[in-house]
């Protein structure tokens, strides 16, 4: 075995150990350790990605030198590593972007706990991406929920505590449904590992037996993950959670926490059930409908709200709708499109939340949409970042979401029939709705207001915003190469 193949295991172990050590460190040391950890995780992931690209394969890794269920199994391949690299970049930039923001809003002496939460969130994301075992996935889903609750309640005021409770109730309901699905699946197949599960399920589908229990399991697990990732109509907890925390916390929730669950659902569909089984049992049609509803309803809600953060929160509902809509097409290119959009939305939405915080600060912490007016003159880097993020989500050519829309439209035409017409119409309607609220906000940044004085910006936050801008442009410009990698990765993923 090549030494690099140990890196995924080291990533999980390192995050676990650092989370424990961070508990007893001072504020500054905790921050340094967490920053070092994120950078280290990024290096380990990049190392594994380069190895997998060179070998053009994926591999399973036994933790504990025993095969599952006595030991544990993780799996690494290009399809897991490309999104994970992007997610880790977002975690790094969100941590740097919120370097000073969290400090102002936290109880004295508790700053190191935020670093612990950050470590645990990253740990659970990495484990969810790598795991090859369903019960391990459940355990890390719960760790993710607990860490995310810590993020939501970071400020410890009434609004954030209530937001935390709502978040937990919906998410724990989702976790319970997911666990119930796992248990029924174990009762039917006798396996928890993804590969033997897939073999058994394929056999059952071919024989036509256990059709109802399999459909039930698939539905229960999909609803569970949909609740956790805020798919419409399960998004009620999302606005409170995103707006009650700091901007770096909101960046983490929208870009990392929800994407981890979505990636797990993709693993379930592709590696456990198989796309053909998902399609034949009719689950894709349900995803298609709810995704479409999310795309439209999320955008309508975003138009109606008064604060910029709330607008961004509801915009996430619309973008999550896009991901489920792509999955609902029930084809391999739909899966690639879903992962691509998860990556591009993760990178964009985190940038939007951090730039919004900077813009709000430049006009005396006014959170209303109207306060964005003239933002470019007070905080130019944040305004450019916001403009780019808005343009990306609308689907301006050369940026990530444009590629998503082109892929989705292409897939719809390829699938043909009713789906094609509905999909094309929905993409058009959703783009117009995005244009109404996002470009309206972005343009107002460049309209001079009464206050045009340049505000001093934090150097670390400004630097991270510049990195975000470059990464967003880079992702859009290199889209064909990255999508090619995902496509090839999916071949060995299934």
Partner 1 sequence: MLEKLLANYEETAAIILFSIGFTTLLLNRNLIKKIIGMDMMDSAIFLFLASQGFIEGKEPPILAEGITGAGAYVNPIPAGLVLTGIVVSVSVSAVMMALAMRLYHRYRTLDVDELIAIAGKEEV
Q: Which residues bind partner 1 (CB under 8 A)?
A: 69, 135, 138-139, 142, 145-146, 149, 153, 156-159, 161-166, 168-169, 172-173, 175-176, 179-180, 183, 186-187, 192, 244
**What distances in angstroms separate CA 254 from CA 352, 384, 455, one per listed residue?**
11, 21, 28
Give the tokens for residue 294: 């999310």
Q: How far is the CB of 20 from partner 1 (least distance, A)?
A: 15
Say which residues have a Cβ less than 8 Å from residue 310's Cβ, sequence separation at least 6.
239, 243, 302
Considering beta carbons, is residue 155 or 259 the nearer one to partner 1?
Answer: 155
How many C-beta atoms surround the C-beta of residue 369 within 10 A? Answer: 18
Considering beta carbons, is residue 72 or 401 the nearer one to partner 1?
Answer: 72
Q: How far is the CB of 441 from partner 1 (least distance, A)?
A: 21
Considering beta carbons, is residue 111 or 176 the nearer one to partner 1?
Answer: 176
Considering beta carbons, is residue 46 or 165 the nearer one to partner 1?
Answer: 165
Tell me phi and psi for residue 64, to 5 degrees: 90, 5
Q: How far is the CB of 70 from partner 1 (least distance, A)?
A: 9
Q: How far is the CB of 221 from partner 1 (least distance, A)?
A: 13
Considering beta carbons, is residue 193 or 326 the nearer one to partner 1?
Answer: 193
Q: How far is the CB of 97 from partner 1 (least distance, A)?
A: 23
User: CA 252, 15, 337: angle at the middle one, nearest 5?
Assistant: 45
Q: How far is the CB of 179 from partner 1 (least distance, A)?
A: 5
Considering beta carbons, is residue 226 or 351 the nearer one to partner 1?
Answer: 226
Q: How far is the CB of 131 from partner 1 (least distance, A)?
A: 14
Give the tokens for residue 147: 């860490």
Q: How far is the CB of 176 from partner 1 (least distance, A)?
A: 5
Considering beta carbons, is residue 160 or 229 the nearer one to partner 1?
Answer: 160
Q: How far is the CB of 115 from partner 1 (least distance, A)?
A: 18
Q: How far is the CB of 162 from partner 1 (least distance, A)?
A: 4
Considering beta carbons, is residue 149 or 299 the nearer one to partner 1?
Answer: 149
Considering beta carbons, is residue 267 or 309 the nearer one to partner 1?
Answer: 309
Considering beta carbons, is residue 32 or 110 the nearer one to partner 1?
Answer: 110
């Amino acid at each position: 075995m090549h030494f690099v193949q140990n890196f995924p295991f080291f990533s999980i172990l390192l995050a676990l150990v650092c989370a424990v050590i961070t508990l007893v460190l001072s504020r500054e040391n905790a921050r340094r350790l967490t920053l070092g950890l994120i950078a280290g995780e990024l290096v380990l992931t990049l190392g594994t990605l380069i190895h997998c690209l060179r070998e053009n394969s994926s591999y399973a890794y036994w933790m504990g030198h025993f095969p599952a269920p006595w030991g544990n199994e993780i799996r690494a391949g290009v399809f897991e590593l490309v999104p994970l690299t992007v997610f880790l970049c977002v975690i790094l930039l969100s941590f740097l972007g919120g370097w000073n923001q969290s400090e102002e809003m936290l109880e004295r002496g508790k700053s190191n706990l935020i670093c612990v939460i950050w470590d645990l969130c990253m740990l659970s994301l990495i484990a969810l991406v790598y795991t090859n075992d369903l019960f391990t996935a459940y355990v890390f889903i719960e760790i993710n929920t607990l860490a995310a609750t810590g993020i939501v309640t970071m400020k410890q005021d009434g609004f954030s505590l209530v937001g935390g409770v709502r978040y937990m109730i919906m998410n724990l309901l989702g976790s319970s449904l997911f666990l119930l699905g796992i248990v029924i699946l174990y009762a039917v197949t006798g396996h928890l590992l993804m590969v033997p599960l897939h073999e058994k399920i394929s056999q059952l589908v071919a024989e036509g037996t256990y059709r109802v229990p399999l459909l039930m399991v698939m539905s229960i697990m999909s609803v569970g993950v949909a609740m956790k990732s805020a798919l419409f109509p399960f998004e009620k907890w999302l606005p409170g959670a995103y707006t009650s925390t700091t901007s770096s916390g909101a960046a983490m929730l929208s870009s990392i926490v929800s994407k981890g669950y979505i990636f797990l659902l993709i693993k379930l569909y592709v590696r456990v059930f198989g796309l053909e089984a998902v399609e034949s049992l009719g689950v894709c049609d349900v995803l298609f409908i709810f995704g479409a509803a999310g795309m439209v309803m999320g955008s309508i809600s975003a138009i109606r709200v008064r604060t910029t953060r709330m607008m961004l929160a509801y915009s996430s509902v619309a973008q999550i709708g896009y991901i489920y809509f792509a999955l609902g097409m029930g084809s391999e290119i739909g899966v690639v499109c879903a992962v691509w959009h998860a990556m591009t939305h993760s990178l964009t939405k985190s940038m939007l939340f951090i730039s919004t915080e900077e813009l709000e600060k430049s006009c005396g912490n006014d959170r209303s949409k109207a306060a964005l007016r003239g933002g470019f003159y007070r905080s130019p880097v944040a305004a450019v970042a916001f403009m780019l993020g808005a343009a990306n989500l609308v689907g301006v050519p050369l940026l990530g979401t444009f590629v998503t829309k082109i892929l989705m439209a292409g897939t719809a035409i390829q699938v043909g029939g009713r789906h094609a017409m509905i999909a094309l119409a929905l993409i058009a309607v959703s783009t117009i709705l995005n244009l109404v609220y996002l470009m309206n906000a972005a343009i107002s940044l460049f309209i001079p207001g009464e206050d045009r004085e340049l505000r001093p910006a934090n150097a670390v936050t400004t630097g991270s915003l510049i990195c975000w801008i470059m990464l967003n442009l880079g992702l859009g410009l290199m889209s064909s190469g990255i999508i090619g990698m995902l496509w090839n990765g999916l071949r060995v993923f299934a």
